[in-house]
Chains A and B, each alone.
Chain A
Amino acid sequence: MTCSRRDFLKEAVSTTAASVLPLGAFVFLSTEEAKAAVADSEARYAFLIDTNKCVGCGMCVKACKNENEVPYDAPVTRMWVERYIFTKDGKLHIDSPMGGRDGFTDNEVYGEDIDPDDIAKAFFVPKGCNHCDNPPCVQVCPVGATYQTKEGVVLVDRDWCMGCAYCIMACPFGARYFHPVEKVADKCTFCYHRISKGLQPACVQSCAFGARRIANLKDPDDPATKIITTERVAVLKDLYGTKPHAFYLGLDHDVR
């Protein structure tokens, strides 16, 4: 193959142009913009959940659904309460009918009536979004519709979400669901509209037993933060490396 100098230059220029043009898709930030973008906030919110105190009344689930306009009779919840019953024959029974919305008023688990005398131990564990420090649900969003705020709250942009449900599959905690009315991915917002006004999240406020609490980890005088930093707390599924920010007291090793 022969190649004249003219052809060589033409090809070189067009190839360079073709390979450089797509770089226009990248957004370059100036130093100031980058610094402003990663500016620190005065808050980092976390949940403190005491499973010793929870009685399984489900008022938190009811309050959450009402507060956040989650369809009440649809089998979807932003947060839910699980019941763990260990019977003396070594079996473990776990249920959460309607996410525990109507509380637990009998010992029937999936149609099986459990005799109270057979119970070795039983307790309730409220669960929901852990507002992870490394949220996998945010990483997988192909359109940038879900993100972490400076306070560590993971939110969904309802105007931008296209409902592909990648994030619902990515969450190891099952904390996300597809909103049947809004047709977008939905999840716990830490009641962002409430905490930004100085109120407590609906689930925290409705809990009569103090089983659910909110902590600002950047405020060392916060009573819930003191418990997290000075007492023995556990998180769910820490092996996933998502750094969950819902801290539990009294967790059992069979709670996943």
Chain B
Amino acid sequence: MKWHVLHPLWVTIAVIGLIIFGGRLLVPDDFGVHGRNFTYGYHRLGSIQDWKDFSVKYQGRDACVQCHEENVQLNNVSVHSAIQCENCHGPAVNHPGGVQSLTVDTSRELCLRCHAQLGYPNSNRGAMPGIEDRRHRRRRECSTCHDPHSPKERSE
């Protein structure tokens, strides 16, 4: 066949060959079908381990009780027992290693997340004991009068 016909053909074959060869060289060995099929499971196997190695920040109540038994037990019998310690105290990460003390969020805004009265009768929000932010002890932190661990009003 004539040169002007074959020349582009050889170039095309060379380019395709280069792509295949380069692909083999650059794509990691653990790339393959590791899920239920090619469409949804074609990936790098090492990526699963990468995600498993991601660090855990919220350690949960069971980790807190090991040292702070007194506070946890006080909290266990209160209406706030379902709330995780770290919701207010911040993520423990590797506390007490690293960070010595956690910063407690005592802001009014934190309490208002649940206890601002919005008037939603058919939502669980309506069943929450709530305050009208504008009317109830404006600019005071809730913890001045209420103990967040066991939230009945503090006795003087």
How many A residues face the partner with a CB closer than 8 A? 73
Let me know if A255 is at the binding interface, CB within 8 A.
Answer: no
**Closest chain A residue to B83 by CB distance?**
A208
Let me know if B32 is at the binding interface, CB within 8 A.
Answer: yes
Query: Nearest chain B CB to A209's CB is how many angstroms away?
Result: 6
**Are B34's CB and A205's CB within 8 A?**
no
CB neighbors of A among B26-52 (8 A): 31-37, 39-44, 46-48, 50-52
Let me know if B128 is at the binding interface, CB within 8 A.
Answer: yes
Cα separation A206 to B19 with both chains bound (whole Å): 49
Let me know if B153 is at the binding interface, CB within 8 A.
Answer: no
Let me know if A216 is at the binding interface, CB within 8 A.
Answer: no
Let me know if B9 is at the binding interface, CB within 8 A.
Answer: yes
**Are A193's CB and B53's CB within 8 A?**
yes
**Are B58's CB and A206's CB within 8 A?**
yes
Q: Pick from B23, B32, B35 the residue with the most CB of A within 10 Å.
A: B35
**Are B84's CB and A206's CB within 8 A?**
yes
Cα separation A157 to B20 with both chains bound (whole Å): 22
**Could you write out 20 A-B pairs with CB less than 8 Å apart?**
A18-B12, A24-B20, A29-B33, A55-B114, A55-B125, A57-B113, A58-B113, A67-B56, A103-B113, A105-B109, A122-B123, A124-B125, A147-B35, A158-B50, A189-B54, A193-B55, A196-B52, A205-B84, A206-B86, A209-B124
Q: Give chain B's interface residues, CB within 8 Å of chain A.
A: 1, 6, 9, 12-13, 16-17, 19-20, 23, 31-37, 39-44, 46-48, 50-58, 60, 80, 82-84, 86-87, 90-91, 109, 112-114, 116, 118-125, 128, 133
Given contacts A18-B13, A25-B16, 9 further A-B contacts (CB under 8 A): A14-B6, A37-B34, A66-B58, A105-B113, A119-B121, A121-B122, A192-B51, A193-B56, A206-B58
Q: Give chain A's interface residues, CB within 8 Å of chain B.
A: 7, 10-11, 14, 17-18, 21-22, 24-25, 27, 29, 33-34, 37-38, 52-59, 63, 66-68, 85, 102-107, 116-117, 119, 121-124, 134-135, 138-139, 144-150, 155, 157-160, 189, 192-194, 196-197, 199-200, 202, 205-206, 208-211
